[in-house]
Structure 1
Amino acid sequence: MSRMPLGSLPQTSQGRVGGLVEKLTPGYFALVMASGIISIGLNLSGFRALSIALLVVCIVAYVALVVLNVWRFAGHRAAMIDDFRDPKRAFGFFTFVAGTNVLGTRIAAEGWHTATAWLLTMSFLVWLVLGYVIPWSAVLGRSERPVVALANGTWFIWVVASQSVAVSAATLEVVFHDARQSLAILAVFSWSVGVFLYAASAIIVSLRIMLYELDPKEFDPPYWVSMGAVAITVVAGARIVEMDSAPMVDATRGLIAGLSVVFWAFATWLIPVLVAAGVWRHFVRKVPLVYVPTLWSMIFPLGMYAVAGIYLGRADGLPIVEAIGSKWLWVAVTAWVIVFVAMVRSVSQALVVPRRPRS
């Protein structure tokens, strides 16, 4: 009996799901990040029902992605290891840390502080491990040089992960009085690390843009994380400013408050630059605008900028900054709805098994 070619084997729905799991992008937790941060913004603005709806999406997406990543590790470990070694994809794993803390911060607003503490503990440990493993496996451990030629916008997700730890720690510092000193140290420590990581990532990514040819297809949505990383630095700073008195906080409160305003201004400046880059990519260079999972890395910065304005305006008494954040929130909501619908359509089409013609 002759063997049927592999390509002609009928593909079942289960096989398609397995194929999608194998190709699952490490940065898909950006869906959790985007949904969670917009839910936080809606909650801060008093839109309770919409906020709860986004919280439900955030929780469901988080659980589903954890299950899918465990499945991928068990059944497609080689593909996951390849991602760890790829400088263009490896930093996407930090979306798990950021997504975990965004979810934790949101559920803290519901009074679920113990769950937030457990999520912070887990994310902090993962952040520490990935912070040493990924730079080595994806950058320092590679024989190819120069590695800077492979840098892209996903590198800023490391910054976002660091600042998400600071936000979560600052959120819990006012609740767990016995752990106040430790949480204050953790918040200031991770905020400071995030600031220096942003400077390093910005230099490396800027060198990549200036020194090497840039294909329009490579200037993808994760470059928006360069703005989102600044915005979450603002939020983390504002939350630290609002923390109760502690030696680490008291020593840095004035510095962090001032720098947060500067970072907000820089994030605002970056928005027209990134919009212009998108126009160049899609309208000048004609790259098709279709759904890709990395679009969530664009929605998160939009929501993060809105929340940054709201938090900073309230923490530092800047009404105009709060007003800008409140208005921008609806830009983020609109973008989230568009991308979510596109994602549902894309996944549905990928799972549909074409009917075999009758003989």
Structure 2
Amino acid sequence: MSQLNPPPTGNSRVVPGSGGNRLLSPVIQKFPPSAFSFVMATGILSTGLHLTGHSAASVVLLWIAAASAVLLTAALLWRAAAYPGKLLTDLNNPAKTFGFFTIVAGANVLGLRFDLAGFPEATLWLGITAGLLWAALNYGIPCSMLLRERSTPILQDANGSWFLWVVATQSMANALAVVARATGNAHLGAAATAAWSIGLVLYLLVGTLVTLRLLTLPNRPEDLSPTYWIFMGATAITVLAGAKLLQMPTEFPVMISTAGFVAGASYALWALGLWWIPLLLVFGFWRHVIRKYPASYETGMWAIVFPLGMMSAASISFGRGESILMMEHIGEVGVWIAAAAWAGTVVLMLISCLHWLRGGNRPA
């Protein structure tokens, strides 16, 4: 019996019902911080389909996203209870820790879609929950990175997942703007604009750091992961947040002061996001075709789907609000590209799950 159920070692401990679960325990131990990127990708694709009038498919994806959020939350709590040491290790790892911001962004993307479905209360409560976690991560991660003794430079761990800091911040701007518009609260409108501004400056900061890492250190195929698509996704969610800000009452004092800047900066970032796409495709071609890195399922693939869906939803929302038909048409086409990417990634994910269930050595 002791061979089948050895005592916990290292930084794991057994909780009721989990000690003998040899099927799920490996998955829970390796549960990635960025797992909620599936919720982000599915939720924003649901939003894009809703904006283009495909209500049935949009509702199906909404409930898939909501159900997956519940399951992933349960898995995260299980990991925190059974393997707290592994969770803390990820929190203290600069290459992985920003992945926890997917929880914040996932909650707010769901909240945005629930608002479109006519459930503003869900948007409010998801936003409050996300806001509390955002505050903890927003200050906890930089303090952990900068105040702990390290033997290697932090910059060598910079990667595309760092842009999730921007994405989560702009998701808070989206949530605050939606609630401010619904309640007519000018103070919330000011807070939404402040969050958008913080996200804008964070994009410049993180973009500089990640670009320096790309230019100063060797780039291996494993380094150029799909998370670099968040370089584009961060611009897209900034554009969507800008569209939500511009939908707030024009008599809000903050809008009187900043509406022109928000509109201009959002359009500039939209153009920058489109500019990134060909370069990101080249990165992928170099990684998989030239350097022959295996194209198997990884959680980071949702970091491709989410930016595509977000760019589409942002283009439609901003284009309609500002009467820029070109943006709207690009977004309508982009929704189907994002849908194809979502479907393809789901297929690869299911294949990976089947491989694992049949005795493969990689948890799905």
Question: What interval of TM-score do these two structures reach, taking the shorter chain for normalisation?
Answer: over 0.9
Deviation of 1:341 after TM superposition, in Å, equals 1.7
Give the aligned residue type for 2:246: V
Give the aligned residue type for 2:295: L
5 Å-filtered alignment, 1:47-196, equals 47-177=54-184, 180-196=185-201
Contact 1:228 1:300 in 2 (8 A): yes
Contact 1:13 1:351 in 2 (8 A): no
Deviation of 1:182 after TM superposition, in Å, equals 2.6
- Aligned mates of 1:249, 1:168 — CA distance in 2: 17
- Aligned mates of 1:194, 1:142 — CA distance in 2: 28
Residues 1:237 and 2:242 aligned together = yes
Give the aligned residue type for 1:319: L
Partner of 1:357: none
Give the aligned residue type for 1:299: V
3-state secondary structure, aligned to 1:218 = coil
Structure-2 change in CA distance of 1:233 and 1:350 (3 Å): same
* Count of aligned pairs between the two proteins: 347
Partner of 2:213: 208
Structure-2 change in CA distance of 1:215 and 1:139 (3 Å): farther
User: Which residue, out of 303, 314, 319, partners 1:308?
Assistant: 314
User: Which residue, out of 268, 275, 279, partners 1:269?
Assistant: 275
Q: Deviations over 1:206-241 (max 9, x none)?
A: 111111111111100110001000000001011101
Partner of 2:335: 329
Q: Deviations over 1:124-165 (max 9, x none)?
A: 111111001112223442422421111000000000000001
Contact 1:84 1:138 in 2 (8 A): no
3-state secondary structure, aligned to 1:290 = coil
Structure-2 change in CA distance of 1:332 and 1:137 (3 Å): same
Runs of 4+ in 1 over 3 A off after TM superposition: 1-6, 351-354
TM-score for the superposition, normalised by structure 2: 0.92
TM-score for the superposition, normalised by structure 1: 0.93
3-state secondary structure, aligned to 2:23 = helix
Partner of 2:204: 199
**Is there any run of 5+ residues in structure 1 with no aligned partner, and where?**
7-11, 355-359
Residues 1:252 and 2:270 aligned together = no
Deviation of 1:110 after TM superposition, in Å, equals 1.4
Partner of 2:295: 289
- Aligned mates of 1:53, 1:341 — CA distance in 2: 17
C-alpha RMSD of matched pairs (Å)? 1.9
Identity rate of aligned residues, in percent? Answer: 38
User: Which residue, out of 343, 352, 356, partners 2:349?
Assistant: 343
Deviation of 1:16 after TM superposition, in Å, equals 2.6
Deviation of 1:2 after TM superposition, in Å, equals 11
Structure (1 or 2) with the greater helix fraction: 1
- Aligned mates of 1:5, 1:74 — CA distance in 2: 18
3-state secondary structure, aligned to 2:35 = helix
Partner of 2:22: 15
- Aligned mates of 1:115, 1:334 — CA distance in 2: 29
Contact 1:228 1:302 in 2 (8 A): yes
Q: Deviations over 1:224-283 (max 9, x none)?
A: 001000000001011101111311122111100011111110001000000011000000
Contact 1:222 1:294 in 2 (8 A): yes
- Aligned mates of 2:5, 2:81 — CA distance in 1: 27
